[in-house]
Chain A
Amino acid sequence: MDQLINKLKKEDRQNYLLSKWFQIFYWILTPLYFAFLVVNPDPELTVNDRLIGSFYVLCFVSFAFIFWHMKKSYRQIDYSLPSVVMLEQAAERYKLWQRRTFFALIPLFFASVGLGLTYFDRVNISNPVLRIIVIEAAIWCFIALAFLVGVAIWYVKQKPLRDHALKLLRELQS
């Protein structure tokens, strides 16, 4: 029993540290990134560089926030709820299309703008509109590919859990 309690206390401590690290990232590293990439007085940093830096910082912050929120919600699985409620929450948690899926578009949008600005001067297409379209198309192709990988992982790992929760719910409520 004492061994188990020590293990549990250790886990509590790790969870506490994880949230602490997020706070460190949020309150220390983000202002640092902001200082170096956006408001750095270095004369070699152009307005374009600062704009790119701003979008990267926004991407980091929103990504970190979503990641932290996801971690928190996964950690808060409450087994002390009535079985029906716990199963409903499990089915909701493992759904592919949920609100946070759309929230993930926010950092991706910032990343695509930042990357678009980074590669704008490096792509050899004379028409600027066409250049933007080509760069953004390439970026969103990568994002779509990453999304497909995510869907495949969901299909293998999380869909069976959702199907199982829904099946138990049906059995319970029939």
Chain B
Amino acid sequence: MANKEERFKEIIRENESKIQRISRYYASSEEESKDICQEVLVNIWKSLDTFRGDSLVSTWIYRIAVNTALSICGKTIRKNKLLLNVDATGIANVMDDAEGQSEDEYSRRLDAFHSGINQLGVIDKMMISLVMEDLSMKEIAQIVGLTEPNVRVKIHRIKESLKESVAAQLAD
């Protein structure tokens, strides 16, 4: 048990920011984000005994975080305001043309991006949150359980729909 506790603490210490970010993507408030984060920690503890190291610890953590979030707030996520902690890197991972803009334009794009993301379905939101984490297509495929080409096509489709949504909002 002491060994499990130490292992748990070590995993959490090394992956705390990841867990907090993923929890924030799916929460409508800071309070809800803490609840999701807590639930993710509980599920990490429960899954620790069966973790054999077949996948990377980070992939394993992402799976638990994403699956927990899907189970908790999947039903209401479409209505939720996504609390995106998007920085330049995060948005650049999704929007290829986000850099090299004035502060004002960047801010308008960020708002439009926010709004576009909030219109996505649960699964699309989940996929885009993994893209924002700068994961490779292979890692995303391992997390969600789809083939790599399938993930590539899906993400391309989501990015295109986000671009259209942002462009439409900026044109208004």
Which residues in A have some Cβ–Cβ distance to B below 8 Å?
Answer: 1, 4-5, 8-9, 12, 78-87, 90, 160, 164, 168, 171-173
CA distance A83 to B67 in the complex (A): 6
CA distance A172 to B146 in the complex (A): 8
CA distance A9 to B49 in the complex (A): 13
Cross-chain contact B47 with A80 (CB below 8 angstroms): yes
Interface residues of B in 47-84 (CB under 8 A from A): 47, 50-51, 60, 63-64, 66-68, 70-71, 74-75
Which residues in B have some Cβ–Cβ distance to A below 8 Å?
Answer: 1, 5, 8-9, 12, 38, 41-43, 45-47, 50-51, 60, 63-64, 66-68, 70-71, 74-75, 121-124, 126, 142-146
| Chain B binding surface SS class | helix
Cross-chain contact A168 with B74 (CB below 8 angstroms): yes
Distance to closest chain A CB from B117 (angstroms): 16
The 4 closest A-B pairs by CB, nearest first: A82-B145, A84-B145, A171-B123, A80-B47
The answer to whether residues A80 and B63 also contact, given A4-B38, A172-B144 and a CB cut-off of 8 A, is yes
The answer to whether residues A78 and B50 also contact, given A172-B146, A173-B146 and a CB cut-off of 8 A, is yes
User: Among B1, B9, B123, which residue has its beta carbon within 8 angstroms of that of A172?
Assistant: B123
Q: Can you pick out 18 interface pairs between chain A and chain B where the beta carbons lie within 8 Å of each other? A: A4-B41, A5-B8, A8-B45, A8-B46, A9-B5, A80-B43, A80-B47, A80-B51, A80-B63, A82-B142, A83-B143, A83-B144, A90-B71, A168-B74, A168-B122, A168-B123, A172-B123, A172-B146
User: Among B8, B64, B67, B75, which residue has its beta carbon within 8 angstroms of that of A164?
Assistant: B75
CA distance A78 to B49 in the complex (A): 11
CA distance A85 to B66 in the complex (A): 13
Cross-chain contact B42 with A8 (CB below 8 angstroms): yes
Q: Which residues of B contact A90 (CB under 8 A)?
A: 71
Q: Which residues of B contact A85 (CB under 8 A)?
A: 145
User: Among A80, A87, A164, which residue has its beta carbon within 8 angstroms of that of B50?
Assistant: A80
CA distance A160 to B71 in the complex (A): 12
- When C-beta atoms are compared, the residue in chain A nearest to B12 turns out to be A1
- When C-beta atoms are compared, the residue in chain A nearest to B63 turns out to be A80
- When C-beta atoms are compared, the residue in chain A nearest to B60 turns out to be A80
Cross-chain contact B63 with A79 (CB below 8 angstroms): yes
Q: Which residues of B contact A168 (CB under 8 A)?
A: 70, 74, 122-123
Q: Which residues of A contact B70 (CB under 8 A)?
A: 83, 87, 168
User: Among B1, B45, B122, B142, which residue has its beta carbon within 8 angstroms of that of A171?
Assistant: B122
Q: Which residues of A contact B145 (CB under 8 A)?
A: 81-85
CA distance A4 to B63 in the complex (A): 21
Among A4, A5, A172, find the residue whose CB has the most chain B CB atoms closer than 10 A: A172
CA distance A160 to B50 in the complex (A): 29
CA distance A81 to B38 in the complex (A): 19
Distance to closest chain B CB from A74 (angstroms): 12
The answer to whether residues A86 and B121 also contact, given A5-B5, A8-B45, A78-B47 and a CB cut-off of 8 A, is no
Among B8, B9, B70, B124, find the residue whose CB has the most chain A CB atoms closer than 10 A: B70
